[in-house]
Amino acid sequence: MEKPLILVTNDDGITAPGIRKLISIAKKIGEVYVVAPDSPQSAMGHAITINSTLHIEEMKLKGGAEFEWSCSGTPVDCVKIACDKILPRHPDLCISGINHGSNSSINVIYSGTMSAAVEAAIEGIPSIGFSLCDLSYHADFDAAEDFIEKIILQALKNKIQKSWVLNVNIPKLKKSKIKGIKVCRQAHAKWDEEFEVRKDPRGRDYYWLTGKFVNLDQGEDTDEWALENGYISVVPVHFDLTNHQAIGELNQWGF
Amino acid sequence: MEKPLILVTNDDGITAPGIRKLISIAKKIGEVYVVAPDSPQSAMGHAITINSTLHIEEMKLKGGAEFEWSCSGTPVDCVKIACDKILPRHPDLCISGINHGSNSSINVIYSGTMSAAVEAAIEGIPSIGFSLCDLSYHADFDAAEDFIEKIILQALKNKIQKSWVLNVNIPKLKKSKIKGIKVCRQAHAKWDEEFEVRKDPRGRDYYWLTGKFVNLDQGEDTDEWALENGYISVVPVHFDLTNHQAIGELNQWGF
């Protein structure tokens, strides 16, 4: 049987330890093409490059995949240019990450890692974004390895639907402390902004975006609950943003 | 009764004709604060600025609002800094646009205009994004004026829920040709990428993102159908990206 074709991308850049680990896992399972940003692109959301140009560059990295390309654009640009210019055929799966830091609950919407995965699904490529809840560059990705491999194999075995996206977050725990994998919904949460104001050398104010994460959701079926309780969370995500439940009420406004 | 406090933003930049029209409409209805990008930020999606700093600048523009600020960041940054540093109290409504170009169907996910509206809802501010299906800088926004005012007034009168976002798209038609307003769902559509390759002066390839819009959805309850048939489309949008329908099937994978 032909090996599955797997597209690997991320938002931390092609040399980040998280994607290097994900590539090593993917190579055990399939034929791997890597198309990832040439520089960090965290929090780029679903941005695409329309007012500027893109460069791509074939790369060889030690222990990497046979086919690796860096791209000067955003994570979503990487998926788009991979589909149009790099991949030899429609891939069986796209995997994105392993992100350095959580993409649970509302973070999914700011995340370049998850937006790349969502873009793949828009292109008809089922996809999985992986994130480790540890922002450190030198985070320990080893504990997550077997779980990630298992989730990828399950997705392929169960013929994951073309439009599906899974948002997988892994708690910062030793392997022996991880209790298992839980299917969840996205917790209702937000960031409370606290912009830090400073003075530049010419006396002008400038701002750094900082904030405090606030979980507004007490449910025990959420990704935040799962992570706080030692589980890996898996949230199915989709690109239909319609609030279907609101349609009835909205029709009564009488436009 | 106190006038409603309305936050106005966009992604085409604070001087774009679309937002100037929206400000003039908002001034008829409420107390208006404008916080918008100092330069075009189309297709920035839900990007935020975390690796760089932000500047804001109070502005006075002829015929504008009493309080206007430009911001060096993305549309989502504008909403965040408005909430934390500029607005005198929690606003009653955020309106974003009028975007120069369609944000119907899948475009909602790439759109800075709509991402700003979604961010407002995350902050607990109900919001409406307006887009005119005409990319031209000199598009005629007059035909849309009465409809936009009506939709804003309906939202306030019906006490639009704090977490609600409406995606309003207006066809490029004379006012007399617009048949009315239709509540819709997001059509299933995508862009087929066609990257255009060129050679730079040093002989290196570079790429421009271009593409062809493909509507994959035959439904007559979609925004694409409404727009093609002369209606203004209103799609309720939300920031819970969970594919709730997939949870049951995913639980059967047996993680």
Q: Is residue A176 part of a domain?
A: yes
Q: Check CB contact under 8 Å for A54 and B209.
A: yes
- Domain total in chain B: 1
Q: Is residue B67 part of a domain?
A: yes
Q: How far is B238 from chain A (nearest CA, A)?
A: 5
For residue range B99-157, list pLDDT tens digits in order: 999 999 999 999 999 999 999 999 999 999 999 999 998 899 999 999 999 999 999 99
Q: What pLDDT score was predicted for residue A1?
A: 63
Calpha distance B107→B112 (Å, rounded): 10
Q: Check CB contact under 8 Å for A246 and B254.
A: no
Tell me which residue of A184, A233, A209 sits closest to B48, measured CA to CA. Answer: A209
For residue range A113-140, list pLDDT tens digits in order: 999 999 999 999 999 999 999 999 889 9
Binding site: which residues of A?
A: 11-12, 42, 99
Q: How far is B70 from chain A (nearest CA, A)?
A: 13
Q: What pLDDT score was predicted for residue B2?
A: 83
**Domain containing A158: what range?**
5-187+220-251
Q: Hey, what's the torsion of the CAs at A238, A241, A245, A250, to 10 degrees?
A: -170
Q: Is residue B202 part of a domain?
A: no
B142 known ligand binder: no
Q: Is residue B207 part of a domain?
A: no
What's the mean pLDDT when you consider all of chain A?
96
Q: Quick check: helix, strand or coil at residue A120?
A: helix
Give the rounded distance of the alpha carbon of B68 from its chain centre: 18
pLDDT exceeding 70 applies to what percent of chain B?
Answer: 100
Calpha distance B123→B244 (Å, rounded): 23
- Chain A positions in Cβ-Cβ contact with residue B168 (cut-off 8 Å): none
Buried b (16+ CB within 10 A) or exposed e, A221-238: ebbbbbbeeebbbbbbbb
What's the mean pLDDT when you consider all of chain B?
96
Which of A123, A151, A209 would best serve as a mutation to test chain B binding (most B beta carbons within 10 A)?
A: A209
For residue range A66-110, list pLDDT tens digits in order: 999 999 999 999 999 999 999 999 999 999 999 999 999 999 999
For residue range B24-83, list pLDDT tens digits in order: 999 999 999 999 999 999 999 999 999 999 999 999 999 999 999 999 999 999 999 999
Q: What pLDDT score was predicted for residue A122?
A: 98
According to DSSP, the residues that pair with A54 across neighbouring strands are B207
- Chain A positions in Cβ-Cβ contact with residue B51 (cut-off 8 Å): 40, 42-43
For residue range A159-205, list pLDDT tens digits in order: 999 999 999 999 999 999 999 999 999 999 999 999 999 999 999 99
Q: How far is A62 from chain B (nearest CA, A)?
A: 25
Q: Check CB contact under 8 Å for B241 and A49.
A: no
Tell me the CATH number at A166.
3.40.1210.10
Of A45, A151, A186, the CB nearest to B240: A186
CA distances from A250 to A2, A77, B107, B151, B153 (A): 50, 35, 22, 11, 14
Which of B212, B240, B251 would best serve as a mutation to test chain A binding (most A beta carbons within 10 A)?
A: B240
Of B42, B198, B241, the CB nearest to A50: B42
Residue B192 has pLDDT above 90, yes or no: yes
Q: Quick check: helix, strand or coil at residue B95?
A: strand
For residue range A34-67, list pLDDT tens digits in order: 999 999 999 999 999 999 999 999 999 999 999 9
Phi/psi for B227 (5° steps) reads -65, -40
pLDDT band at B96 (very low <50, low <70, confident <90, very high): very high
Q: Is residue A209 part of a domain?
A: no
Of B51, B193, B246, the CB nearest to A164: B246
Pair of tokens at residue A67: 């086919």
- Chain B positions in Cβ-Cβ contact with residue A83 (cut-off 8 Å): 193
Calpha distance A206→B176 (Å, rounded): 48
Residue B176 has pLDDT above 80, yes or no: yes
> How many contacts (CB atoms, under 8 Å) link A and B?
223
Q: What pLDDT score was predicted for residue B218?
A: 95
Of B50, B167, B246, the CB nearest to A42: B50
Of A47, A186, A253, the CB nearest to B242: A186
Residue A214's H or E segment, with its range, is strand A211-215
- Chain A positions in Cβ-Cβ contact with residue B251 (cut-off 8 Å): 183
Q: Is residue B192 part of a domain?
A: no
Calpha distance B175→B146 (Å, rounded): 9
Residue B1 has pLDDT above 70, yes or no: no
Q: How far is B195 from chain A (nearest CA, A)?
A: 7
Q: Is residue B164 part of a domain?
A: yes
Q: Check CB contact under 8 Å for B193 and A165.
A: no
Pair of tokens at residue A173: 């725990």
Establish whether this prediction's ipTM goes over 0.90. Answer: yes
Q: What pLDDT score was predicted for residue B82?
A: 98
CB half-sphere exposure, B220, CA atoms < 13 A:
1
Q: Is residue A31 part of a domain?
A: yes
